[in-house]
Amino acid sequence: MNASASRLSLWLLLTPFLLWIVLLVLVPHLQMLRVSFQVRESWDTLAWGLEQYQNFFSESYYWRTFVRTGVMSLFTTFLTLLIAFPIAWYIARLARGRSKGILFLACLIPFWASELVRTYGWMILLRESGLFSSWLQALGWVDGPVEMLYNDVAVIIGLVYNGLLFMVVPLVTTLDGMDENLVEAGYDLGGGHATVLREVVIPWAMPGIVSGCIVVFMLTLGSYLTPILMGGKDSAWFTEQIFTQFITRFNWEQGAALGVLLLVLSSLMVWLGLKLTGQSLRKVMG
């Protein structure tokens, strides 16, 4: 009686979550998978086939964009880690009391605005008639206006900025939990800065590093506005191609196939990342 009542309440508690998973995650993905294997033979007849996937490999611009997106996302993730680590170290280990909270808040503030606003902010700074360009001219370092927007560097700047918080938070959390004495022991037993970082700090922070990297990589891979707005004419990004297939070309079949491929890529990268660093998903996310 009692057991069945508690089981009932468990199910009641789980129901919203299960509904969410099934309706908003599982069903759309299965639907996408199904659509991706459809081939539009004429305007009202559909057949099953691999044509969309063949298109992906035969049209070089699909897989070139795919590879470019993957490589740039990896690079962005790595760069974000490099920048976030000292920040997280400072917040977790060096800042005390109030300044700790303020610094954390400072990392959070940009996220009160939407991605669009953040990206426009960078555009105002980097564009030819923008702030950086006029400062450089005022300082006399350059003769004419400099265009810093519409290239890969600008895209990476925007992406790193977008990902920074999601790297800093897990790093701060893991570094916060590290016993100060571990670092001291590392020095005490004869290690230099590099050794202590490599042998003591990084292994300890590994769960945070991996979870931060996974989140930032997924965010970057799936970002849409930043590469388009900041990349300009060479912005080719895989999500943009998916969007184009669905919205501008009405080619849902191709869009679905590209979406499935993106999902496979990101899952594969996460799996590889976990394997290479010897972490498990449970350890990283728990």
Q: What is the contact surface with other proteins in residues (CB under 8 A)?
A: 43, 59-62, 64-65, 116, 127-129, 147, 149-150, 179, 181-182, 184-192, 195, 199-200, 203-204, 206, 225, 228-229, 232-236, 241, 243-251
Nearest distance from residue 160's CB to other proteins, in Å? 21
Nearest-approach distance from CB 12 to other proteins, in angstroms: 25
Question: Please, which residue, 77 or 226, has the CB nearer to other proteins?
Answer: 226
Q: Which two tokens stand for residue 241?
A: 């191609």
Quickly tell me which residue has 């280990």 as its tokens: 93
Is 234 within 8 Å of 152 (Cβ atoms)? yes
HSE-up (13 A, CA, CB side) for residue 17: 5
The minimum distance between CB 246 and other proteins, in angstroms, equals 7
The pair phi, psi for residue 177, each rounded to 5°, is -85, 0
Query: With b meaning 16 or more CB within 10 Å and e meaning fewer, what string describes 152-191?
Result: eebbbbbbbbbbbbbbbbbbbbbbeebeeeebeebeeeeb
- Contact between 172 and 85 (Cβ < 8 Å): no
Comparison of 85 and 150: residue with beta carbon closer to other proteins: 150
Burial of 120-148, coded b for 16+ CB within 10 Å and e otherwise, reads eebbebbbeebeebeebeeeeeeeeebeb
| Strands 38-40, 46-48: pairing kind | antiparallel
CB closer to other proteins out of 72 and 164: 72
* Nearer to other proteins among residue 107 and residue 255 (C-beta): 255
Please, what is the minimum distance in Å from the beta carbon of residue 165 to other proteins? Answer: 22
DSSP, residue by residue, 258-276? HHHHHHHHHHHHHHHHHHH
CB of 150 to other proteins, least distance (A): 5
We find the least distance from the C-beta atom of residue 76 to other proteins, in angstroms, to be 20
Q: Which is nearer to other proteins, 130 or 273 (CB)?
A: 130
DSSP secondary structure letter of residue 141: S
**Strand, coil or helix: 76:** helix
CB of 173 or CB of 195, closer to other proteins = 195
- Phi, psi (5° rounding) for residue 47? -130, 165
Least Å distance, CB 60 to other proteins, is 8
Q: Which lies closer to other proteins via its Cβ, residue 74 or residue 206?
A: 206
Closer of 80 and 279 to other proteins (Cβ) = 279
Nearest distance in Å: CB 283, other proteins: 12
